[in-house]
Amino acid sequence: MLGVVDRANIVIIGGGVVGCAVAHAVAQRWSDVFLVEQMPRLGMGASTRNSGVIHSGIYYPPGSLKARMCVSGNRLLHEFCAAHNVPHRNCGKLVVAQGSGQEAVLEHLAENGRANGVEGLRLVDRATIYAKEPHIVASAALEVPSTGIVSAEDLVKTLARLATDRGANLLPRARVVRLDPRTDSIAVTIAEGEASQATGAAAEETIEARCVINCAGLYADEIAALLGNRSYRIYPVRGEYCELVRAKSYLVNNLVYPLPHSDGLSLGVHLTRTLWGTVLVGPTADYISDKNDYERNRLPVEEFLRRAKPMLPEIEAADLQLAYSGIRAKLAPPEHVGFTDFVIARDPVAERAIQLVGIESPGLTSCLAIAERVVSLAAEILEG
Ligand SMILES: Cc1cc2nc3c(=O)[nH]c(=O)nc-3n(C[C@H](O)[C@H](O)[C@H](O)COP(=O)(O)OP(=O)(O)OC[C@H]3O[C@@H](n4cnc5c(N)ncnc54)[C@H](O)[C@@H]3O)c2cc1C
């Protein structure tokens, strides 16, 4: 598959939305760019197992990478989707409060959002909520006009196509198995295709890369360890979804969120009207031990009912059916309370490597902003 090419300027490890956005951005500036993805297709990890929400940036501490990447990523993504016909909708969202205690939290969120540069935020009353979402019950809400929704699958495909048009080589079924940092390069050993039944081993090839970019999502800690950096650990946190049965999808017009978890674990089980007119209820957030365990011990629909009913009292268990799940790449262990930022930085020891670790939500929203940042870091390595 790699033919005679054994040298590259850049090897990107991981073909999710972040890896594809990075490939698209770096291929504009450098030739000999490779992206290697272990799965048969691009975007099969978290990138297509999420809510598809283009977040505004209200939740993250001012100055954090999540805040900066999200706010600028929101604008870049809306522009990109419009320019390249990626299905999306600028629908806005409501974060709803139940009672005066929660309303104070809404005000805090609004202040935080404004400090991050999020525009158009306003607190709205029951009458405004009713006009937008007649089936939602809440005492007040924060209206967030810059939130949108995107088809993550189409976004991945479009980024991949444009990256290929710019000359990047995107290689599915190629798993990075060894990384060997040398003085002027990193040797990237790749096992291609399925392991052969006869030998139990897949064919291996090595590329000498002047720069390696770790976009391996849930496995970013393992890729960092192959580079000799054992300072990261990714804790998988599963998010499960239910869907409203079709006959009840009229109950939700756009995006309705409760207040976020105070422990920073997630944004809470929310209601998302998809681009296809279905309504998602979720995601939940539970630490799991296996990074590949999407389906074992799924929560019953009653659990989703319990969480969504305060906002949407008209639903019953019979209106819900289990849908897909996704796994967050968290840097925070279960006992951690509070905020954890993205890591997007050059490796302190393997100087030719760039680490992207803990790219959980809002990673989809932020992909184009993250890619811009990675271009600057790659320029330090390749041109510095
Ligand atoms: C339940 C859930 C809901 C979310 N909702 C939202 C949302 O609404 N809005 C938002 O902005 N964000 C959301 N996110 C976050 C968003 O989905 C992620 O931040 C984003 O998809 C991360 O993209 P990625 O490319 O880094 O990771 P991934 O999509 O996981 O891609 C990493 C890729 O690396 C590959 N890989 C790993 N190891 C190797 C190896 N050794 N060799 C080759 N390839 C390898 C994997 O196969 C995978 O395809 C959500 C996430 C979850 C789980």
DSSP letter string over 229-253? -----PEEEEEEEEEE-GGGGGG-S
Angle at 172 between CA 167 and CA 174, to 5 degrees: 110
146-177 pLDDT per residue, tens: 999 999 999 999 999 999 999 999 999 999 99
Distance between CA atoms of residues 190 and 8, nearest Å: 14
Number of Cβ within 10 Å of residue 236's Cβ equals 17
pLDDT, tens digit, 9 for 90 and up, residues 250-303: 999 999 999 987 766 778 899 999 999 999 999 999 999 999 999 999 999 999
The pLDDT tens digits for 120-140 are 999 999 999 999 999 999 999
Q: How confident is the model at residue 195 (pLDDT cuts 50, 70, 90)?
A: low
- In the reported structure, the alpha carbon of residue 135 is separated from the centroid of ligand 1 by a whole-number distance in angstroms of 33
Over residues 317-331, the pLDDT tens digits come to 999 999 999 999 999
Q: Would the CB of 268 count as within 6 Å of ligand 1?
A: no
Q: Which atom of ligand 1 is nearest to the CA of 282?
A: 1
Going by their DSSP bridges, the two strands 93-97 and 255-257 should be labelled as parallel
The whole-angstrom separation of Cα 253 and Cα 96 is 14
Q: Is the dihedral of CA 55, 326, 344, 333 positive or negative?
A: positive
Question: Taking a C-beta distance cutoff of 8 angstroms, is the pair 188, 206 a contact?
Answer: yes
Q: Is the peptide bond before 145 cis (omega within 30 degrees of 0)?
A: no
H/E stretch holding 221: helix 220-226
What pLDDT shows up at residue 26? 98
Probe residue for ligand 1, chosen from 2, 24, 37, 284 as the CB with the greatest number of ligand atoms within 8 Å: 37
Residue carrying structure tokens 């991981």: 14
What's the angle, vertex CA 196, arms to CA 191 and CA 200, rounded to 5? 85
Closest atom of ligand 1 to 237 CA is 53
Ligand 1 centroid, distance to 17 Cα (angstroms): 7
Would you give the DSSP letter of residue 42?
A: T
Q: How many residues appear in the chain?
A: 384
Residue 241 confidence (pLDDT) above 90: yes
Pocket probe mutation, ligand 1, options 44, 75, 221, 361, max atoms within 8 Å of Cβ: 361
Question: Are the beta carbons of 65 and 341 closer than 8 angstroms?
Answer: yes
- Return the amino acid letter for 294: Y
- Give the three-state DSSP class for 122: strand
∠ at Cα 329 (339, 69), nearest 5°?
Answer: 60
pLDDT at 198: 62
- Name which residue sits closest to atom 35 of ligand 1, judged by CA: 14
Q: What local confidence, expressed as pLDDT, does residue 6 receive?
A: 84
Average pLDDT, the chain: 95
Tokens standing for 189?
Answer: 């050993």
Q: Is the pLDDT of residue 1 over 70?
A: no
Q: What angle do CA 292, 295, 298 make, to 5 degrees?
A: 135
Q: How far is the CA of 361 from the centre of ligand 1 (A)?
A: 9
Q: Is the pLDDT of residue 101 over 90?
A: no
